[in-house]
Structure 1
Amino acid sequence: MKCTFIVYRFDPAVDKEPRYQEYMVAAEPTDKILDCLNKIRWEQDPTLSYRYSCAHGICGSDALMINGRIELACQKLVRDFKTANNFVIEPLPLFKVIKDLVVDMNPFFEKHRTVRPYLISDEDPPEKEWLQDPENQKFFEPALACILCGSCTAACPINRSNDKYLGPAALLRGFRYVADSRDTATGSRLAQL
Structure 2
Amino acid sequence: MSTPTVEHSAALDAAEAGGIQLITVTFRIRRFNPEEHPDPVWVDYQLTLDPKERVLDALNKIKWEQDGTLTYRRSCAHGICGSDAMRINGRNRLACKTLIKDVNPEKPITIEAIKGLTVLKDLVVDMDPFFQAYKDVMPFLITKGNEPTRERLQSAEDRERFDDTTKCILCAACTSSCPVFWNDGQYFGPAAIVNAHRFIFDSRDEGAEQRLEILNDREGVWRCRTTFNCSEACPRGIEVTKAIQEVKRALVTRRF
TM-score (norm 1): 0.96
Measured after TM superposition, the shift of residue 163 of structure 1 is 1.9
Q: How many residues align?
A: 193
What is the deviation of 1:83?
4.4
User: 1:129 Cα deviation (Å)?
Assistant: 3.0
Q: Secondary structure at the residue paired with 1:3?
A: strand
The match for 1:97 among 83, 97, 119 is 119
Corresponding residue number in structure 1 for 2:46: 24
**Which one-letter code corresponds to 1:103 in the other structure?**
V
Q: Distance in 2 between matches of 1:76 and 1:3?
A: 15
Q: Distance in 1 between matches of 2:90 and 2:67?
A: 23
Could you say which structure has the larger radius of gyration?
2
From the superposition, tell whether residues 128 and 30 of structure 1 become closer, same or farther in structure 2 (CA, over 3 Å).
Answer: farther
Partners of 1:25 and 1:127 in 2: CA distance = 60
Partners of 1:2 and 1:85 within 8 A in 2: no
Aligned with residue 4 of structure 1, among 14, 26, 29? 26
Q: What corresponds to 1:187 in structure 2?
A: 209
Name the counterpart of 1:108: 130
Q: Which stretch of structure 1 is more off in the superposition, 26-35 or 121-130?
A: 121-130
**Structure-2 residue corresponding to 1:178:** 200
* Distance in 2, Cα, partners of 1:127 & 1:137: 21
Greater relative contact order, per chain length (Cα 8 Å cut-off, separation 6+)? 1
CA distance in 2: counterparts of 1:164 and 1:189, whole angstroms: 17
1:73 aligns with 2:95: yes
Identify if the C-alpha distance between structure 1 residues 15 and 129 changes in structure 2 by more than 3 Å, giving closer, same or farther.
farther
**1:161 and 1:66 mapped to 2: Cα distance?**
21
Aligned partner of residue 50 in structure 2, secondary structure:
coil
What's the secondary structure of 1:129's corresponding residue? coil
* Uncovered stretches (5+) of structure 2, i.e. residues with no partner: 1-22, 216-256
Unaligned runs of 5+ in 1: none
Amino acid at match of 2:75: S
Task: Give, in angstroms, the shift of residue 27 of structure 1.
Answer: 1.2
User: Could you report, residue by residue, the CA deviation over 1:21-76 in whole angstroms, capped at 9, with x for unpaired residues?
Assistant: 11111110110000000000000000000000000000111001001111000001
Alpha-carbon distance in 2 for matches of 1:34, 1:137: 34
Please give the alpha-carbon distance, in whole angstroms, between the structure 1 residues aligned to 2:157 and 2:206. Answer: 18
Of 121, 137, 160 in structure 1, the residue corresponding to residue 159 of structure 2 is 137
Note if 1:57 corresponds to 2:106. Answer: no
CA RMSD of aligned residues (A): 1.2
Distance 1:23 1:171 in 2: 38
User: What's the % identity of the aligned pairs?
Assistant: 45
Q: Which moved more, 1:85-94 or 1:31-40?
A: 85-94
* 2:211 equivalent to 1:166: no
CA deviation map 1:6-31 (0-9, x unaligned): 11110112211100111111110110
CA contact (8 A) 1:51 1:102 kept: yes
Counterpart position of 1:44: 66
So what's the TM-score if we normalise by structure 2? 0.73
Q: Deviations along 1:75-126, whole A, 9 cap, x unmatched?
A: 0101111241521110001111111001111100000000000000003232
